[in-house]
Amino acid sequence: MKIALLSDIHGNLEALRRVLEDAATQAPDRMICLGDAIGYGPEPDQVVRVLTRKGIPTLLGNHELATIRPEIRDWFNPSARRSLERTLELLSPQVLELLHTWPQVLERDNALFVHGCPPDSITRYLFEVSDEDFPHLFETYPHRLCFVGHTHVLRWISWDGTDLERGVPGPQPLKLLPERRYIVNVGSVGQPRDGDNRAKYVLWDTESDTIQVRCVPYDIAATAEKILALGFPRINADRLW
């Protein structure tokens, strides 16, 4: 089985459309979105509607969480909070209601899926976990594989009970070793922060036991222009490049 893993679309419909077109050429058996479909970008309502129409299960990210729990908004920096306020103005009542139904975690195909950090954190960043804490973190859930988003940066971390290893998944399939457990950050569709401005998603092949990054170009200028026209902070447009 081949599973396409998306995360952090952030209202970037241009990037999502190109990713879905690319994914169609790979013929995945299913797709999963790890959250933050909204926030920062100009078309949050349309992005959620596309995910829903295509039947792509989507997790709660911190931006969705802040729409349904106002107290979470204090966790955001001022620019992100302004972006969230503008996003809320662009969301229809139907989509706002839909966000209340998104789960915090998924467990499928013997893997765990969560936005921020296992076992179930929406807001904790993977880079906040020290090397000393990772062995304990792996003990908090039983799955061999866990897929996360949130940082917008591709990474994998593995543990065999003794040694911790780190790496960056790339366009060549990475063979997962059966004796090791993995946490894989799948990067960002709509706002990568890894020095490569193409949209990113990950393909997990359960039969070959590999992960592979797909890097997809899209019309960045079109998205940036929409961001500025709708009154979002300029940084949201600038950092797409």
- DSSP single-letter state for residue 29: S
- Residue 70 pLDDT > 90: no
Q: What percent of the chain has pLDDT over 90?
A: 97
Contact 233, 83 (CB under 8 A): yes
When pLDDT is averaged across residues 154-161 and rounded to a whole number, the result is 97
Q: Residue 129 half-sphere exposure, CB side, CA atoms within 13 Å?
A: 20
Nearest to 19 by CA among 158, 192, 234: 192
Averaged pLDDT of the chain: 97
- Residue 75 pLDDT > 90: no
Write down the residue that tokens 């792996």 correspond to. 138
**pLDDT interval class at 72 (50, 70, 90):** confident
- Number of folded domains that form the chain: 1
- Residue 74 pLDDT > 90: no
Q: What is the CATH number of the domain that holds 130?
A: 3.60.21.10
When pLDDT is averaged across residues 42-47 and rounded to a whole number, the result is 98
Name 97's Cβ contacts closer than 8 Å, sequence gap at least 6.
none
Q: What confidence score (pLDDT) does residue 211 get?
A: 98
Q: Quick one: which H or E segment has residue 44?
A: helix 44-53
Nearest to 215 by CA among 241, 188, 239: 188
Name 74's Cβ contacts closer than 8 Å, sequence gap at least 6.
none
Contact 148, 34 (CB under 8 A): yes
Contact 184, 32 (CB under 8 A): no
Position with higher pLDDT, 75 vs 235 = 235
Contact 213, 188 (CB under 8 A): no
- Tell me how far apart the alpha carbons of residues 231 and 49 are, in angstroms, rounded to a whole number: 22
- Residue 40 pLDDT > 90: yes
Task: Measure the CA angle with vertex 134, ends 122 and 192; round to 5°.
Answer: 50
**pLDDT interval class at 204 (50, 70, 90):** very high
Q: What is the pTM of this model?
A: 0.97
- Tell me how far apart the alpha carbons of residues 212 and 144 are, in angstroms, rounded to a whole number: 17
Nearest to 111 by CA among 26, 37, 48, 202: 202
Containing structural domain, residue 229: 2-238
